[in-house]
Structure 1
Amino acid sequence: MTAASDLRFFTSADGGLAYRDTGAGDPVVLLHSGFTDHRVFDDQIPALAREYRVIAPDVRGHGASANASRPFRWADDLAALLRHLDTGPAVLVGVSMGGAIATDTVIEYPELVRAVVACGASTSEFEYTAPWVRQVQADQTRALGEGDVEGWLTAFLRFVPGEHRTLDDVDPDVLRRVREMALGTLTKHTPDEVNHHVPLTGTWARVPKIDVPVLAVNGALDAPDLIADAERLARTVPDGRSTLVEGVAHYPNMERPEVFTDIVAGFLRTL
């Protein structure tokens, strides 16, 4: 677990945003998945910091960062942080929600982005259509409506193994870490809280204009519609490529950390 002393805070226009900043060299920003925090990358941060300056924020409303009290966009928050740190263009590496943030940011602030790695993600306009995922989401919504935190966590953790595995197929420590982060973020919010996030629209019309290298990384056992959309991202940009990590679903960076780190490091060496 990250020590509190390792976290820094950027005072945004709407509260403090937490981040880690370690290493030296070209900047690499690690953007975590929804309901977790920067600790999703506990295996990648020290490995990449040997050669790069690694910045790992907690997205607004997650981890140690402030909740929103007014409308906000993910890309605006990240752009403000990068400008505060006087860094960029940076390579953005995001998992799930973090991958969508990376893509949104290169669309909105191309001058701040050198390249993108989107893991299990495309743009923020993606919506799941796979029946299994829609059922898990329905179970989460029902549990949340009933105030059943444990029920929500049980449903949320099903995304770790994915549809074709069980929780018994996953390292218990990975499940523990995801559960701990998700519980921490969930308890920051109330069921009747206003969702101030403002989605970015019209993203796919702008994707062909992304003029930096883009790598899509997917767990081979992830939802098929998500894999297809991520590969569409890689095909649509002028300089895109994609790769699969076998045997894992939505969190290849946690289940196969060395493989994921090697993929990212290899991509970085091509820039």
Structure 2
Amino acid sequence: MLHHIDQGAGRPVVLLHGGALDHRLWAPQIAALTRTHRVIAPDLRGHGASPTPTAPFRHVDDVAALLRDLDLGPTTVAGISLGATVAVDLALEAPELVSGLVVSGAGAGGAEFRDPATLELLARWAASEQARDRALWTEIFLEISFGVGRPLDDVAPDMVAHVRRMTDDTLDHHVPDGMPVLPTPVADAAARSRELTLPVLAIVGLLDSPDHRRMAREVARDVVEIEDAAHYPNLEAPDEFTVALLTFLRE
């Protein structure tokens, strides 16, 4: 079973973190939501305190197994970045477990990147991974996290340190040598996501890359835009993000 926190009481909500991070990404929302909801926030496989993958796997299968183990569903699932993609996958592969989706920083798996600046940065990121240049990989990851072309000096230092700490922990514990075992994608997720009929809210940081904003919007019925926030608006504008999430949960 995935390592997870299970706190609070009331209607359940599941929170899925971004790649290279863990459930601590959701710290501001966990503190707020547990006053009125039961909050389940797992560490995906290869992240946090969950197992390191050693064979082909799918994140969606792990999350579905956890929710069934906890006898949950249907429930609202919120995801950021990789977590958003896993949330959409869950609605596609196990619709009986999901009553609504909140996505931020991504959408369905398999969506294409088109923005030239983002494509160039992703190419440099892939090259740093192939070269096993951990320092460069992390710096590019932080640039993606806080806005392509945005100086990190413009971001609160404690926020950058928080994301860097989670990233370092992931790399230390799950990628100490060589390349990680990557998850198997869900087949045709982008095309299938167009047929989703459940409520979907996108919370979009307007400083995020154009592609990430578009991917979230493509699967959403409603969109909340947050200024002065990039890939993790829940950290950069926690109050605004939490209000949008709670409003969706109420409605």
Match in the other structure for 2:135: 150
Q: Report if aligned partners of 1:144, 1:191 keep a CA contact under 8 Å in 2.
A: no
Structure 1, residues 93-121: CA drift from partner, whole Å, max 9, x if none? 00011001000100111100010000111
- Greater shift, 61-70 or 50-59, is seen at 61-70
1:232 and 2:218 matched: yes
1:202 and 2:202 matched: no
* TM-score under structure 1 length normalisation: 0.88
1:182 and 2:163 matched: no
Match in the other structure for 2:236: 255
Letter in 2 for 1:59: L
Match in the other structure for 2:26: 41
Compute the displacement of 1:194 (Å). 5.5
Match in the other structure for 2:249: 268
Say which SS state the counterpart of residue 158 (structure 1) adopts.
helix
Match in the other structure for 1:79: 64
Q: Report if aligned partners of 2:109, 2:190 keep a CA contact under 8 Å in 1.
A: no
Match in the other structure for 1:24: 9
Structure 1, residues 207-262: CA drift from partner, whole Å, max 9, x if none? 2432321001111111112212222212xxxxx11121111110100111111101
Say which SS state the counterpart of residue 242 (structure 1) adopts.
strand
Match in the other structure for 1:13: none
Compute the displacement of 1:149 (Å). 1.8
- Greater shift, 105-114 or 207-216, is seen at 207-216
Compute the displacement of 1:164 (Å). 4.7
1:161 and 2:146 matched: yes
Compute the displacement of 1:196 (Å). 4.5
Compute the displacement of 1:191 (Å). 5.2
1:136 and 2:111 matched: no
Letter in 1 for 2:229: V
Say which SS state the counterpart of residue 125 (structure 1) adopts.
coil
* TM-score under structure 2 length normalisation: 0.94
Letter in 1 for 2:144: F
Match in the other structure for 1:92: 77
Match in the other structure for 1:123: 108
RMSD between superposed Cα atoms in Å:
1.5
Q: Report if aligned partners of 1:58, 1:65 keep a CA contact under 8 Å in 2.
A: yes
Work out the CA distance in 2 between the residues paired with 1:261 and 1:103: 20
Q: Report if aligned partners of 1:29, 1:54 keep a CA contact under 8 Å in 2.
A: yes
Shift in CA distance, 208/145, structure 1 to aligned 2, threshold 3 Å: closer
Match in the other structure for 1:237: none
Match in the other structure for 1:54: 39
Work out the CA distance in 2 between the residues paired with 1:89 and 1:174: 33
Letter in 2 for 1:144: E
Match of 1:211 among 194, 197, 202: 197
Letter in 1 for 2:140: A
**Structure 1 runs not aligned, ≥5 long:** 1-9, 11-16, 235-239
Say which SS state the counterpart of residue 144 (structure 2) adopts.
coil
Moved beyond 3 Å, runs of 4+? 190-194
Work out the CA distance in 2 between the residues paired with 1:208 and 1:154: 34
Compute the displacement of 1:30 (Å). 0.5
Letter in 1 for 2:210: P
Structure 1, residues 23-80: CA drift from partner, whole Å, max 9, x if none? 0111100000010000000110010011110000001001111111222111111100
**Structure 2 runs not aligned, ≥5 long:** none
Match of 2:206 among 192, 205, 220: 220
- Greater shift, 50-59 or 190-199, is seen at 190-199
Percent pairwise identity: 42
Name the count of aligned residue pairs: 250
Work out the CA distance in 1 between the residues paired with 2:245 and 2:31: 13
Match in the other structure for 1:14: none
Say which SS state the counterpart of residue 99 (structure 2) adopts.
strand
Match of 2:178 among 175, 192, 208: 192
